[in-house]
Structure 1
Amino acid sequence: MSTLKSRLDVVEQKISEAASNSGRSRDDITLVVVSKNNPAQMVLDLAEIGVSNFGENRDQEAKPKAAEVALAGKTVTWHFVGQLQSNKAKSALSYSSVLHSLDRPSLLDAVGKAVADRAEPLDVFIQLNLTDDQNRGGIQTQNVLGFAEQVLQTPNLRLLGLMGVAGLDVDPRVDFDRIRNSSEQLMRLAPDAKYISAGMSEDFEFAIASGATHVRIGTAITGKRPY
């Protein structure tokens, strides 16, 4: 637990410094701890020291983990951050409150059906594809506004903004600036869709400098091996 807390403290300090350097408050940034490949006990330990948002990318792992955490009496917010198969939408959204990877019309249809009877709207981010590979997950930047219009017309969804992952072969600041530019365009269509989910363990400080409001951090907090 002490090692886990020390890693969390280091990340928290870096988030605070990055926010301050950008003229922002730490309160402007939501830390989502990516808990994939780690057991429910790690989530419970982090919840004990103040973490409330957790990210998962595989429903078959996340669903029983969420159930175990709930059974232990802890209330946390689950973010689904990975590619979601349309046939898994109903299952994944039974415990997730935020979907970061809405990236295609067929998934939008499945998500719309899955949340039709939900008491509260589902918060969603549109995922961008910042590469030239059409087969990768995400919407090409030139198609964002058209897709956003479809999202806005779907009942029981609340469009938060955009999500993106910086490429491995580019300066992450270039891609984060591209996300910010797309975000500014999106806000002309949907002023409330002002949030940006970007930045992981290796690059979250650059993401915050470019306007990220949600950072998805795994190994910098959880460690490189299963907890």
Structure 2
Amino acid sequence: MSIDRIRESIATAARKAGRDPDEVTLIAVSKVQPEARVLPVLEAGHRVFGENRVQEAQGRWGALAPRFPGTEIHLIGPLQTNKARAAMELAHAIHSLDRPRLAETLARLAQERGACPELFVQVNTGAEPQKAGVLPDDADGFVARCRDLDLPVMGLMCIPPAEQDPAPHFAALREMAARNGLAELSMGMSGDFETAIAQGATHVRVGAAIFGARG
């Protein structure tokens, strides 16, 4: 499916939900995709891309981004504290703020730099032991802690369990965000972004449906 088809699907899902399509940001997940697949998406005018690993993103976008002004990199994978400085220099947004130590590291670096990317707290809505993210019962307290550190938390992010209906997870994330006065929701991927939009997603992370299968 092409980037134009995905844009059309997003617009249709938004209108069906009574929303303005412009409220939804499409993050084209370019992680591990070859440049030959990424270039046509850039040439089609898209400028918001998702990457998992800081080092991989640096290698790709250090050369590509200057050729395409306005390119934004959103880091959507787990972030190690020792990569935090590089992440802050590279990223427009970090979607995987998930633990106190990382929050404290980002806060210290933000004070040093006088700037910080937009931040999303990742919530493990399914309480899956193998998955990163703050547990739902801890989310309110963690958001408050991040605010105490003057971090620019814009919203919440989740990745629902693969084998479950994502809608209740998206709804739960929306309720958590509303309770904490957060306007942004990073949720929905290639298989469920339309459901996420119906539940209020402001950012959807779509990879395979744009670029094809990885590998």
- Whether TM exceeds 0.5 here: the answer is yes
User: Are residues 1:36 and 2:31 paired?
Assistant: yes
Is the contact made by 1:47 and 1:74 (CA closer than 8 Å) also made in structure 2? no
Identify the residue that residue 185 of structure 1 maps to in structure 2: 179
User: Are residues 1:48 and 2:43 paired?
Assistant: yes
Task: Tell me the CA shift for residue 63 of structure 1.
Answer: 1.1
Which of residues 198, 202, 208 is equivalent to 1:213? 202
Identify the residue that residue 167 of structure 1 maps to in structure 2: 161
More displaced 10-residue stretch of structure 1: 197-206 or 50-59: 50-59
Structure 2: 5+ residue runs without aligned partners?
none
Q: Distance in 2 between matches of 1:38 and 1:99?
A: 20
Which of residues 183, 186, 194 is equivalent to 1:197? 186
Q: Distance in 2 between matches of 1:47 and 1:73?
A: 7
Is the contact made by 1:128 and 1:162 (CA closer than 8 Å) also made in structure 2? yes
Task: Tell me the CA shift for residue 131 of structure 1.
Answer: 2.1
Task: Tell me the CA shift for residue 30 of structure 1.
Answer: 0.4
RMSD: 1.7
Q: Distance in 2 between matches of 1:43 and 1:75?
A: 15
Structure 1 length normalisation: TM-score?
A: 0.88
Is the contact made by 1:129 and 1:140 (CA closer than 8 Å) also made in structure 2? yes
Structure 2 length normalisation: TM-score?
A: 0.93
Q: Distance in 1 between matches of 2:67 and 2:127?
A: 44
Question: Could you tell me which amino acid in structure 2 is paired with residue 165 of structure 1?
Answer: I
Q: Distance in 1 between matches of 2:141 and 2:63?
A: 39
SS in 1 for 2:141: helix
Task: Tell me the CA shift for residue 162 of structure 1.
Answer: 0.5
Task: Tell me the CA shift for residue 175 of structure 1.
Answer: 1.1
Task: Tell me the CA shift for residue 40 of structure 1.
Answer: 4.1
Is the contact made by 2:74 and 2:95 (CA closer than 8 Å) also made in structure 1? yes
Structure 1: 5+ residue runs without aligned partners?
1-5, 188-192
Is the contact made by 2:72 and 2:91 (CA closer than 8 Å) also made in structure 1? yes
Matches within 5 A, 1:27-176: 27-72=22-67, 74-134=69-129, 136-155=131-150, 157-176=151-170
Task: Tell me the CA shift for residue 50 of structure 1.
Answer: 1.6
Task: Tell me the CA shift for residue 116 of structure 1.
Answer: 2.3
